[in-house]
Chains A and B, each alone.
Chain A
Amino acid sequence: MDPYEIEFIGENRISSIIPNFTYDKIYLICGEFGPFRAGLPLNVPLWLAIMLKQKQKCRIVPPEWMDIDVLQNIKEEEKRSRFFTKMPNEHYMVEAKLILGVAAEDVPNAAEIKTIIKDIWDIRMSKLRTSMDALMKSGGSYGRLDHLTMMEINSVKPLLPSAMDELYKIKMMTKRAPTAANLNNSTFSQSGSSQNT
């Protein structure tokens, strides 16, 4: 899937806004939202929040986890743990990008928060690369990836599944032609390395 499709899915999350207008309840296909009272917070899907913000009809209330202390803790935890820790939100990167993109002034310390989230993302991505490397080297065709968010999984999709497919094909071939195994191995490792470059 393309990243914009992941973003699209992430936009269905509910987030909180403070509107500056008053309106009755609105009945959408995905549910009913409102009533909108100027100055009172209410929950709407993220896409609606972004849209209203762009029309300057509301302020976005940053989600609880979008806070320096909370994020600092997550970052430390992520550094300490060998495994992936559970993120506060399935789509933290999407939500952060959208909210900080259109409503940075609604988030206290937006710049620092941006940096910390980026740091967390980087730590997780480097962990992901390490574990992908280990998985490929052990020649496994199965792996468990708890707590990885969709965007993170999607970022390795062009590489990991097809690499595992190739590995599987090679294994099947070497099994079928055991005598030529040594020869095959050397050719495969060559073609493998040229693919990586």
Chain B
Amino acid sequence: MDEISDIVVSDEEEEITADVVLKTLQTAWQNERLAPEILPHNNDMVECMLGQIQHMERNINKLPKTDLRASIHKMELSRIKFIICNYLRTRLNKIEKYCIHIMNDEKQRIETGTNYLTLAEFKYTQEYIANMEGHLKKVVLDKMPGNMKSLEMNKMAVYPNLLTHIFLKANTSINGVVLEDLVADQDEEIDLEEGSQHILQYKPIADLVKNGKVQLV
């Protein structure tokens, strides 16, 4: 029961401990909750943590029900499950909202091997779009005169607002983040010191979120 061996993430050779996985997941969850667009997936970490949870649950079942340790472990597992569920649900919400836009972008990303969605999420997006199309056709379009039956999915696309303002905290010092000023055509350059907090538009720092140099708060 009391052994948590170091776990190995399947894709990489290096060993990481369970608490590092947990911290990574928590950061990923926080960023996903606060970013306007969908972020690259963290499937390795999710899978790894799910395995860990299963392992833990098997062990808890061996303990007597009244054991204090059992309730502590259960509490921790509930907390971790909450993070994972909330994280995945947030991603699904974004997928449903921006499905057409995400699908178009994702097809390009798959070609370069930098996909943001997991395989399951990709399938879900495909099915979601197909279902929506089928539904619209069945309910309305099929009953329309012939010249009004066409459906242009791309015109229905909803896009995330990348210019929305977000709060962030810099994990490392980053110099020369360019804030485009489209209004006065005057770009401004700012430096983000380590640990400092800012409010600014999402677009200029989108890549910094994805590579973990800043953290949304």
Inter-chain contact count A-B, CB under 8 Å? 104
**Binary contact track A6-20/B, C-beta < 8 Å → 1, others 0:** 001100100000000
Q: Are A47 and B196 in contact (CB under 8 A)?
A: no
**Chain A binder among B67-75, B92-100, B106-114:** B67-75
Q: Which stretch, B133-141, B150-158, B161-169, touches the partner chain A?
A: B161-169
Instruction: Find B2's partner among A5, A27, A165 (CB 8 Å cutoff).
Output: A27
Which residue of B4, B69, B165, B181 contacts A165 across the interface (Cβ within 8 Å)?
Answer: B165
Q: Tell whether B3 is near chain A: CB-to-CB under 8 Å.
A: yes
Mark out the residues of chain A between 125 and 151 whose CB falls within 8 Å of any chain B CB in the assembled complex: 141-148, 150
Report if B199 contacts A (CB, 8 A).
yes
Asked if A150 contacts B201 (CB within 8 A), the reply is no
CB distance A160 to B199 under 8 Å?
Answer: yes
- B217 neighbours in A (Cβ, 8 Å): 150, 153
Stretch of A72-80, A168-176, A188-196 at the chain-chain interface: A168-176
* Cα A12 to Cα B86 with chains together (Å): 17
- Tell me the residues in window 162-184 of chain B with beta carbons closer than 8 Å to chain A beta carbons: 163-167, 179, 181-183
Residues of chain A touching chain B, judged by Cβ–Cβ distance below 8 Å, are: 1, 5, 8-9, 12, 21, 23-31, 47-48, 51, 55, 57, 141-148, 150, 153, 157, 160-162, 164-165, 168, 171-172, 175
Q: Determine whether the beta carbon of A168 is less than 8 Å from that of B163.
A: yes
Of A8, A27, A141, A144, which is in contact with the most chain B CB atoms at under 10 Å from its CB? A141
Is B52 in the interface zone, CB < 8 Å from A?
yes
Q: In the complex, which residue of chain B has the Cβ closest to the Cβ of A11?
A: B79
Residue in A closest to B77 when the chains form the complex, CB atoms: A29
Question: Could you say which of A31, A144, A168 contacts B19, with CB atoms under 8 Å apart?
Answer: A31
Which one of A5, A8, A143, A150 lies within 8 Å of B198 (CB-CB)?
A143
Contact A164 B22 (CB under 8 A): no
The one of B71, B75, B165, B167 in contact with A141, judged by C-beta atoms closer than 8 angstroms, is: B165
Contact of B44 with A by CB under 8 A? no
B91: chain A residues within 8 A (beta carbon):
none
B165 contact set on A, CB distance < 8 A: 141, 160-161, 164-165, 168
A29-B198 contact given A1-B34, A165-B161, CB 8 Å threshold? no
Nearest chain B CB to A24's CB is how many angstroms away?
Answer: 7
